[in-house]
Structure formats: structure tokens, C-alpha cells
Structure 1
Amino acid sequence: MDPIAPSEARDRLRIAIQKSGRLGPPARALLSSCGLAWREQADRLFCRGETLPVDLLLVRDDDIPGLLDSGACDYGVVGRNVLLEYAGRRPQETGSAAAVELRGLGFGGCRLDIAVPEDWDWQGPAQLQGRRIATTYPRLLDRWLVAQGVQADVVTLSGSVEIAPRLGQADAVCDLVSSGATLRANQLRPVVTLLQSEAVLAGPARPFADARGALATMLLRRLDGVLKLRDSRLLLFQARRDAVPGLMQLLPDAEPPTVMQVDGGDTLALQALCHGAMTWQRLEQLRSAGARGLLVVPVERTLA
């Protein structure tokens, strides 16, 4: 894949994250765990990287895809729903290379759902034919309606979508749902999920042609290491040699273990990096299968 030929060569990366909102703090924490630190500016909109030449832009979530498109920033942490909604208008309104999802980041999870009044006897998408549906994601909703063969009147709102049926503005809504409490408060219930969303790292599909290329490779490598280790633990234990195959079947998420013989006998000491939750129940299963001296150690970082 050919690298991006930038209109202006740069030797620093720029990453845009949400200035205020639920994605901002975990995005900053994730980047900090990759070894990044910044010097805060007075306006708190631009933070210059100190440990690495990687700067931070603090902006509105909805502005991040446009900043990526224009080249004003190189990467962005943004909701998948926002990225795909923006992509829905690109063929008509932009001509630059599209930013794509590079990594799912595992936080900010939510759903884009169709919700209808609680007293509806929901029979399926065909029930929306000719109805008015309020949403802040008209392009994602349009795409879904076309796929369902349903014609409906899409009412675009910038906020307070859930109250639209009570105000007579719409018959149903299409909105982000996390706990569902807001829907219930407005006598609505979700019936169809259009999209499972979370925070994602977005950026160009092609590598950078200037000094940013090496920086980007290093950053993505560190990010992959942090994401892989989020639920990882180092498991240490001893077991008889003949029990090891059965024990490893109980650890399908473990990397190949390091094995050492103990005192020249038939007992082995093993250490395995496991990428799933190490619950008490799981430890009891391992003990019943022959593991002894089980020790679970948190892993701070790793580098392949």
C-alpha cells in the first residue's frame, strides 16, 4: 500500500480526543499508558507532547472525523457511531482519503437502537413504513432503512431525541443507548440494534510518508501491547508432568508457557501469560486439575 504523500511534511504526530465528555478521560489515560505525556497550554485545546513528539488536540467529538479528513490531525479517538455517520456524507461532500477505524479501544460502549413507544405491538421493521423516526444519525438510519426496504420520514434532531414522540415530532426514535434509563423515562423501548459502538482509534488507512511514519508504527505497537494486557495476568504454578496437557486445555487464552523442571523430578514449574479474566472459579478448576502454588501476577507492560 502506497504511503500518504502529505501536503506538508511534519515530524510530529497529532492526536485528537474529546475535550469534554465520557470518551475524553479514558482516551487520555490510554495514551498515557503508552508512555505519552503533554505540556498543557493555557487554552487547554492544544497539548504539546513532552516524552515523544506526539501532540494532543482537545476538541468536540463530532469534529474529529473532519479534522482527520482535512489533515489537521493524524489520529483521533472517536465513537464508531460518529466516524461512520461522518463517512456516510463523504462521497457527496468531500474528496479526500477517508479516515478508517484502526483499533477498537474497549471503552465507551453503547448501541445505536431503534426505540418505539412501550405500547406498540412490535412486529418488525416493516412496522416503520411511512412513520417518522427522530435521530441525530440520519445517514446511518437511512442506510439501515434502505437495507430493510422500508420508506420512512427521517427527522433529524441535534439532541433530546427521546422526547420527540411525546412532543408529536416523531413516531419512533433512533438513538444511542447505554443503560436504557432515558428511554424508559420517556416510555420507549429498544427493538432493533443498528450498530454496536465503542471508542475507536481512527486514522488513515495508508502509512505516513514522512517522519510521522516511524512515530505512528511505534505508537500503534505500544497501543496494541496496552490493549492486549488490559485483562492479562501472568499465572505461575507447579504441576506434575502428566497433568500439564489437561491444565493447558483449561487455559485456551494463554500464550505458550515457560516450563522448568523442579529438583530433577517429575514436577514442573510453569508460567503462562493469560489474556482472560483469572477468576476464583477458574483458579479452583486449575487446582482440581492438578495445579499447585497458583500465583496470579499483574502485568504492567510488554514489548514483543
Structure 2
Amino acid sequence: MSNLKIAIQKSGRLSDDSIKLFKECGIKFEVGKSKLKSTSRNFPADFLFLRDDDIPGYVEDGVADVGIVGENVLVEYGKDVDTAKALGFSKCRLSLAVPREVDYPGIEYFEGKSIATSYPNLLKKYLDKKGVNAQIHIISGSVEIAPGIGLAEGVCDIVSTGGTLLSNGLKEVEEIFQSEALMISNKGLSDEKRVLLESLLFRINAVQKAQSHKYVLLNAPNAKIDDIIRVMPGMRSPTITPLKQEGWSSIHSVLKESDFWENIETMREAGAEGILVIPIEKMIS
């Protein structure tokens, strides 16, 4: 069986998040700054470390079978690939920004002005939708410096926390696109490769489901068990075990973390004691 070729960003936050995900899936492979390729020791996969904007093209051409890429990059380059899974990490937004001292009136500010960006297609689509005619300067990196050197009146760039804009004297004024990490795949994958991809997605789903759930244990008086399990039903139903102390039981359940925090006070008011919340490493439905 030939290995599944997986392309990931060679450096940056998306690279770190992707590598972390594969490690959590139990897939072992070597990572290094100078490495361009690595073969897993325990899963039939070869990892290719590439520039993020090259990944959609490599997957479309079949050089890589699968890739992890930002949704912003995929849409910008418009390659013909399948989206295997939205991964939910490396979330960011593509935004317009102007110098902090500008009294920004609205999108009409950019009429007739110049904007520096690495995402000309996404930017043009947004400006056309808003009916704004602006000049787009395409820059491959360090977009934030453009207003400071007189190249453009504004920028369009990826924003996570806004710290980079702030440090360059800019402020975010328009959000034009929301992005997250996607797993993409070649449209012509062989049946053999599709089986490997499904195996990989099975592991990813198990890891990600576990991250959003917690194993909850608590003690409760038997008279209050029905009140408590109404707000902690679990995957199918809770496990209830009698304690040595007469009239008390231990209740075990798996809950979504959000459900736990929404209902914790109700559980306590119903008499729950000794509540333990334990992380889950993997969760198989």
C-alpha cells in the first residue's frame, strides 16, 4: 500500500496546530526546520512541508493527496479540490485596516485609494460587492508597512489578535472574510488512498470530540439523582454506583464542556458534592 501524502505548512501557527493535531492522533513523524519531507513511523503517511499558498496547487495536481490549509488561502487561489473536513483551529479573519489617526467614515473611504494586500482576489470580490473602486497593490509579505512608506492608504491582511496591526500604527475597520484550517484532498484519490483518508479522519474526529467533552464524576443523595441526571444525561445515560454511605450514590457521565458550565449550579443546588471534571484523551462514538 502506498503512503498517503499529506502537505502541511512548513512554519507558522497553522503548521504548529497541524503538527499538534497529528501528534494527538498518535501519528509519529520527525519535524525539523530544515525538513521538507518526513515519513510516519506508525501510520502509512508521508508529510510534505510546504509554503501555505503552494498547498492547494500541490493537492489539485496530485503531488500531495491531502493538505491542511487556511480557508482564506484556498478561496484566494481557487483550486479545484475537495474539502474533507473543517478543522476548527487557526481561526482568523481577513480585514481592511487604516492608520490609527484616520477618522474612518465607512467603506467609501477606500474609493479611489490604494490598498496593499496578499489577497487580491478576495479583496476585489469584496470591493466589487460594496461598489468601491480602489487600486490594489499586491505584496507577498510585510503588508502592514505599506501605509508607513507611502505605498498605500490602507491594507487588507489576516488578523488573529490585532497585535501586529496595533504595533504598526493601524486599526481594523472592515472584516471581509472569516477563515479556519481546512483539510483538503485531491479529487482523484484512489480507493486505497480514500481508505487511508477515512482512517485519518476517524482519528481526528475522536480527538476533537474528546476536546469538547469532559468526564464528570460527582456524589449525590439518592433522593436527588433524578433531578441531577436531568441536566447531565451523558452520551447515552449516566452510570450510577451506590456508595458505602447509605442513601448516597456516585454519578459518572460524559458531558459537553459548555453543557457542564451551564448546569453546574443546578447540580450543586440539587445536592451534588465532590464534583470532579476530567479531560478525555480520545472519544469514539
**In structure 2, what is the Cα distance between the partners aligned to 1:186 and 1:213?**
45
Label 1:123 to 1:243 Cα distance change in 2 as closer, same or farther (>3 A). Answer: farther
Equivalent residue of 1:26, what SS?
Answer: helix
Equivalent residue of 2:149, what SS?
Answer: coil
Letter in 1 for 2:173: V
Q: Is the 8 A contact 1:111 1:196 kept in 2?
A: yes
* Structure 2 residue 196 is the aligned partner of structure 1 residue 196: no
Label 1:222 to 1:269 Cα distance change in 2 as closer, same or farther (>3 A). Answer: same
Equivalent residue of 1:211, what SS?
Answer: helix
**In structure 1, what is the Cα distance between the partners aligned to 2:92 and 2:47?**
25
Letter in 2 for 1:84: V
Letter in 1 for 2:277: V
Equivalent residue of 1:141, what SS?
Answer: helix
Q: Which residue of 2 aligns with 1:20?
A: 11
**In structure 2, what is the Cα distance between the partners aligned to 1:269 and 1:179?**
43
Where does 1:64-83 land on structure 2 (aligned, <5 Å)?
Answer: 64-83=55-74
More helix by share: 2
Where does 1:140-289 land on structure 2 (aligned, <5 Å)?
Answer: 140-204=122-186, 208-240=189-221, 243-244=224-225, 246-248=227-229, 250-251=231-232, 254-260=234-240, 262=242, 267-276=248-257, 283=264, 286-289=267-270
State the Cα distance separating 1:80 from its structure 2 match.
1.9
Q: TM-score, normalised by structure 2?
A: 0.87
Q: Is the 8 A contact 1:251 1:274 kept in 2?
A: yes
Q: Which residue of 2 aligns with 1:52?
A: 43
Unaligned stretches of 5+ in structure 2? none
Give the aligned CA root-mean-square deviation in angstroms: 3.0
* Structure 2 residue 75 is the aligned partner of structure 1 residue 84: yes
Label 1:187 to 1:245 Cα distance change in 2 as closer, same or farther (>3 A). Answer: farther
* The 10-residue stretch of structure 1 (171-180 or 270-279) with the greater mean CA deviation from structure 2: 270-279
Letter in 2 for 1:158: S
Q: Is the 8 A contact 1:234 1:299 kept in 2?
A: yes
Equivalent residue of 1:166, what SS?
Answer: helix
Equivalent residue of 2:174, what SS?
Answer: strand
Could you give the per-residue CA deviations for residues 64-108 of structure 1, whole angstroms, max 9, x where no partner exists? 111111111111122222122111xx4xxxxxx4243622242x2
Where does 1:5-44 land on structure 2 (aligned, <5 Å)?
Answer: 11-38=2-29, 44=35
Equivalent residue of 2:257, what SS?
Answer: coil
State the Cα distance separating 1:277 from its structure 2 match.
5.8
Q: TM-score, normalised by structure 1?
A: 0.82
Q: Is the 8 A contact 1:115 1:191 kept in 2?
A: yes
Q: Is the 8 A contact 2:81 2:184 kept in 1?
A: no
**In structure 1, what is the Cα distance between the partners aligned to 2:206 and 2:22?**
12
Equivalent residue of 2:148, what SS?
Answer: coil
**Number of matched residues?**
284
Q: Which residue of 2 aligns with 1:103?
A: 86
- Give me the identity figure in percent: 35
Q: Which residue of 2 aligns with 1:130?
A: 112
State the Cα distance separating 1:175 from its structure 2 match.
0.7
Unaligned stretches of 5+ in structure 1? 1-9, 91-96
Could you give the per-residue CA deviations for residues 210-269 of structure 1, whole angstroms, max 9, x where no partner exists? 2112211111011011111124210012334664555356558x5333233527987554
Letter in 2 for 1:98: V
Could you give the per-residue CA deviations for residues 276-304 of structure 1, whole angstroms, max 9, x where no partner exists? 26988975553223212322222121222
State the Cα distance separating 1:119 from its structure 2 match.
2.4
Label 1:153 to 1:273 Cα distance change in 2 as closer, same or farther (>3 A). Answer: same
* Structure 2 residue 281 is the aligned partner of structure 1 residue 300: yes
Could you give the per-residue CA deviations for residues 104-151 of structure 1, whole angstroms, max 9, x where no partner exists? 242x23221111122222222122222111111101101111221222
Q: Is the 8 A contact 1:102 1:203 kept in 2?
A: no
Q: Is the 8 A contact 1:77 1:199 kept in 2?
A: yes
